[in-house]
Chains A and B, each alone.
Chain A
Amino acid sequence: MTLDLLLNGRPTALEAEPAETLLEVLRREAGLLSVRLTCGIGVCGACTVLLDGEPVSGCLLRAAQAAGREVTTLEGIPAEHPVRRAFAAEHAFQCGYCTPGMVLTSARLLEEIPDPSDEQIAEGLGGNLCRCGCYLKIRAAVRRAA
């Protein structure tokens, strides 16, 4: 099947199998390697993409469910975006693997809550795991971007 969607701001057509996840299609067909598989069950956030602006797990979402919708990956967030700049300034990453999901989720969190408390940040990022344990600097980055 052909999947038509608005991908990182551009109308895009991708080849997909009906049962495939959005994660598989974005990586293989669009070469968007910032979308990464870790847990495969929607609890770690490494595969986060924004679907019509809302963070979702690309490992759970069927590609077909993204038809006609707007999908944003980290590649669609400009380097000068305040959240990306804040993550860099606070050194809020180690291996960098979870970073795309963290940045996308943080960006959405700050749209909803422009000046979040520590508890709100912890809750907002509760679905994004960082095994390197960069949470303090990630929290500092979200605060900096607020």
Chain B
Amino acid sequence: MSGEVRYAQDVRLEGQWHAALVRSPVPHGRVRAIDVSKLPPDCVALLPEDVAGLGRYGCQLKDQEVLADPARFAGDVVAALAASTPEAAREAARLVEVEFEELPAVFDPVTAVAEGAPLLHPEAGAVREGAGSAPAGAIVPADDAVSIGVRPLAGTNVCHRFRLLHGDADAGLADADVVVDETYRTASAQHAPMEPHATAARWTADGRLELFTGTQTPFNLRADLAGLLGVDEEHIRVVAPPMGGSFGAKTFTRLEAVVACLARKAGRPVKAVLDRAEEWVTLNRHPAVIRVRIGAARDGTLVAKRLDCWVDTGAYADCGPGVATKLGYAGAGPYRIPNVRVDALAIYTNLPPNGAFRGYGAMQSVWASERAMDLLAARLGMSPLELRRRNLLRDGDRFATGEVMHDVHFEECLQAAADAVDYERDPHGKGLSVLLKGMQTPSRAAIAVERTPVGYVVRCASCEMGQGVRDSVRLQAAALLGCEPGQIEVPDPDTNSAPFDTRTTSSRSTYMMGRALEEAVRDLQTNGGGRGYGEIANEGGLDPDTGQGIASTHWHQGAAAAEVSVDEETGLVTVEHLHAAVYAGRVVDRAGAELQNEGSMIMGLGTALLESVDHADGQITNANLSDYNVPAAGDLPRRLTHDLIERDDAEPHGLGETALPPVPAAIGNALASLGLELTELPMTAERVLEAVDAAAPAEVGVRG
């Protein structure tokens, strides 16, 4: 507010130089030679021989090298430069000449799993966990950040296969009175945080590494770098200043590996701040192709569902295995279905890596599943609202994973959304969508409280990215300690002084840190009032081969409703009213909660109508904020409203992303109510016009 927040991009280390990265122009190519003969003397180049002895990194599969060879996407980093100013570094990077031997490339996840497709990581899948020691060069699963068994398929581009098997889906579909079989697609998206990725690294004289970096995952980062660099975790310090937005972009190891290596070679601190265009080759959202088969009895009772999902993770796995898993079980939907089969593949392609993005896989499968529900309702001759109501999970029901549901509010969310647009009176031009989304399970959180002369210092690794976690911690601590929020100091996360936390993702921090804080305050009060420490864990996890187990400690539950009008001449969709209803449990920070709902809905609107990372022959074609449109003030729906569904005695529920995934499907279903069937996101004017052309004129009730 005062302009005084200092982000990672503002960090200035004594004597620091600046980094620029040399990127591959080809989407797949072996590095034949790097010519640095034109470099001026006053710069330092990090070259393949400098990192030859290092291992590989990656949060779920260790498949990434500090400098890539082969380059596996156009934009992959093959060398790095440091110089005294950002301009000098960039100029030096331009003088490096790299010779590539181009390799065949693949840019579509369905093609990438076809017979004969070029392989990005031929060594992937050579070893499975528990199968003994890995052969030299094999890609091994990371054991620090991954909470699922990773299942690469040897000799393919599949870096993870998640299956969920519940009953007999094929038999159920054969028995169903009505079956829908449709395939849906979602585009890649760019997080586009206002602050780009920024990292500063410094090595101490005794071989310790200090990083000041915009990250949501300081401890995962520390473990990944320790493995890569062969340095003890305790000798790596990660400090995470507040981020100017992240939305998943600043998770796991991004610039930190190459900047750390560059700083070591340069013998001085080095800082990197990405150019805007580089954001599009750093991390995007997983595009997905999802085939839905869902069957119901004549009365609308769901009997079976099959989902086949091709999830494009780009050139490196990153958290693609986790995204495919969450996408997979979220796609089962918040319904009682006796027979469910999900097969979700995380697939390598020669595109920039895709990773965590607000909604984490749920948006993709909610788009597919909730669009299919409206198609099923139409075939049954039922109201989409009634079809959902008849099948929604309730307290005590078993989800497809086998776990028993508790604190369930799907129907309440759905009804609130429907009522907001007066759906039951007139569903024309309106659409609904409901979602279930898990929270990171298993995970651990810990927090330390210390009394000071003026109040308390609360140390934890929950990272601030605008979601308001510091306020949430401060407010909860003040309430527990009986003081004013202003007396609570919450320093930036620092792995040297904050206790371990799994990471700041999946809308878990208010809930998990809140519980750890209760423990810490109890500890403080029973130990003289000076210091307290609290630690909690949530247990669970899914078997990747059956999808059975505990997917989530508790459930993020929400619904959206949209009312739209369409200009049939231009294909322009106007969202007249967008509403989200989200189960919040106990609200800790009301303004923060409202902002999370509003921000999620607006980002969902961008996903629905505007945003797509486009590429041609593996080159991103819209890597700037003019060609890639994120919602501006003028893009908002005519009305944007939301509900926080609260229970004073309930536990807090994270709200950081629940209102995003249902938005595109609600808008898609509103278009479907006008006879316009869209299966692919975003719903651009061009695609809407195609749907207008495809619809029989008599069926289209277009309103302008």
Contact = CB atoms under 8 A, between A and B. Distances in A.
Interface string A40-73: 1101101000000000000000000000000001
Contacts of A133: 598-603, 631
Interface in B460-514: 465-468
Contacts of A97: 5, 7, 193-195, 244-245, 466
B10 interface: yes
A87 to B, nearest CB: 6
Interface string A103-145: 0000000000000000001110110111111111111000000
Interface residues of B, number: 46
A95 B245 contact: yes
Interface stretch (B304-312, B633-641, B673-681): B633-641
B285 to A, nearest CB: 14
A79 interface: yes
A137 B595 contact: yes
A40 B626 contact: no
B599 A134 contact: yes
Interface string B174-213: 0000000000000000011111100000000000000000
A50 to B, nearest CB: 14
Given A38-B276, A41-B626, A132 B599 contact: yes
Contacts of A5: none
A94 interface: yes
Interface of A: 33-34, 36-41, 43-44, 46, 73-75, 79, 84, 87-88, 91, 93-100, 121-123, 125-126, 128-139
B82 to A, nearest CB: 18
B308 to A, nearest CB: 33
Interface residue SS majority, chain A: loop
A132 B1 CA distance: 14
Given A123-B634, A134-B599, A137-B595, A96 B193 contact: no
A46 B633 CA distance: 14
B54 to A, nearest CB: 32
B3 interface: yes
Contacts of A132: 245, 466, 595, 599
The 8 nearest A-B residue pairs measured at CB: A95-B466, A34-B3, A97-B244, A133-B602, A133-B599, A94-B466, A91-B591, A74-B3
Contacts of B456: none
A39 B245 contact: no
21 contacts: A33-B6, A33-B10, A34-B3, A39-B626, A41-B625, A74-B2, A88-B1, A95-B193, A95-B244, A96-B244, A96-B466, A97-B5, A122-B634, A123-B634, A128-B633, A129-B632, A131-B192, A131-B193, A133-B601, A135-B598, A137-B598
A94 B634 contact: no
A44 B633 contact: no
Contacts of B276: 38-41
A75 B5 CA distance: 12
B242 A95 contact: yes
B677 to A, nearest CB: 28
Contact of A95 (B191, B195, B625): B195
Given A38-B195, A38-B276, A44 B634 contact: no
Interface in B591-640: 591-592, 594-595, 598-603, 624-626, 630-634, 636, 640
A66 B633 CA distance: 29
B239 to A, nearest CB: 18
A84 B2 CA distance: 8
Contacts of B632: 125-126, 128-129
Contact of B465 (A87, A95, A126): A95
B599 A99 contact: no
Given A34-B4, A121-B633, A135-B598, 7 more contacts: A34-B3, A36-B9, A73-B3, A88-B1, A95-B193, A96-B244, A126-B634
